[in-house]
Amino acid sequence: MSALAKKRFGQHFLHDGRVIARILQALNPQPGQRIVEIGPGRGALTAPLLQRIGELQVVEIDRDVIAPLQRACGDAPGLHLHMADALKFDFAQLAAPGQPLRLVGNLPYNISTPLLFHLLDQAHAVQDMLFMLQKEMVDRMAALPGEPDYGRLSVALAARAEVSWLFHVGPGSFSPPPQVDSAVVRVVPRAPDFEIHDWPTFDRVVMQAFGQRRKQLGNSLRQIAHADDFRSASIDPELRAERLSAAEFARLANQIHAEQSRRDGSQPSR
């Protein structure tokens, strides 16, 4: 009996062979690479991946899909299964010196954002990620300053990775069909080409600015930024959050952090 999709895991099983072929083409997996599939489900992507590379790590939380997954893969000895919650799993342990991880998966919509940041926290062990996500989320991930979908997620990712919107996937490619469209995105972790002196300050500034995105920055950040901070960072306090690039947010956050460190009598961290 096939495993049924569970709402609590946000499961929508991919079954469209054309979409699977496009994912494989975009991933271009090579034997010897350390590839990890997150949420393999019934194995629609797992089986062809194994056929190409012979060895694959998979992380799955739902015990009920294990039997159909193993059947789909023909009980291949190269399938290494980790029964775990991906939000808590230590992916870095699967990497090896000179062999960073390549991550792939059809991610549950209900955990996509926290899972992305959990993986980026382990970016030292990750080469790239290729994920199927809700299209609305991929639009926000890849948006540029001034675009309608640009927001906190866009800025947070722009400071941590290169994001590429690849292709659209309709609801009919899944069982059961979700009520939203999906898209495939590539995320390549990398250091920003601008300085961020204190990551918690940067993330706090971005969060607070977009928490009141209709307000001018001088108002939305009034609890943590002063007029002198905006002047020193060459940022117009009358702008709204969606007009600032990640580099400009970093410049303002660096100034706020430096001023806070000065008031506290400590040296700014780098």
User: Which domains, from first to last, does the chain contain?
Assistant: 7-189 (3.40.50.150), 199-264 (1.10.8.100)
Is 67's pLDDT higher than 50?
yes
Instruction: State the average pLDDT over residues 32-60.
Output: 93
pLDDT band at 3 (very low <50, low <70, confident <90, very high): very low
Q: Which residues pair with 139 in a beta bridge?
A: none
At 269 the pLDDT is 53
Q: From residue 3, how far is each of 63, 94, 124, 171 by CA, in Å? A: 10, 27, 35, 19
Among residues 7, 83, 3, 85, the alpha carbon closest in space to that of 42 is found at 3
Max CA pair span of the chain: 66
Alpha helices in the chain (DSSP H): 17-27, 46-53, 66-72, 112-120, 135-142, 152-158, 199-211, 217-220, 227-233, 246-264
**Residue-wise pLDDT tens digits, 88-128:** 999 999 999 999 999 999 888 888 999 999 999 999 999 99
* Mean pLDDT taken over the chain: 90
Q: Return d(Cα 226, Cα 221) in angstroms, integer.
A: 8
At 174 the pLDDT is 84
Q: Which amino acid is at 264?
A: D
Q: What percent of the chain has pLDDT over 90?
A: 74
**Residue-wise pLDDT tens digits, 170-210:** 988 887 787 889 999 999 999 999 999 999 999 999 999 99
pLDDT band at 266 (very low <50, low <70, confident <90, very high): low
Contact 117, 93 (CB under 8 A): no
Instruction: State the average pLDDT over residues 251-259.
Output: 96
Could you tell me the pTM of the whole model? 0.89
At 252 the pLDDT is 98
Q: Using a CB cutoff of 8 Å and minimum separation of 24, what contacts does 259-267 make? A: 259/226, 259/228, 259/229, 260/201
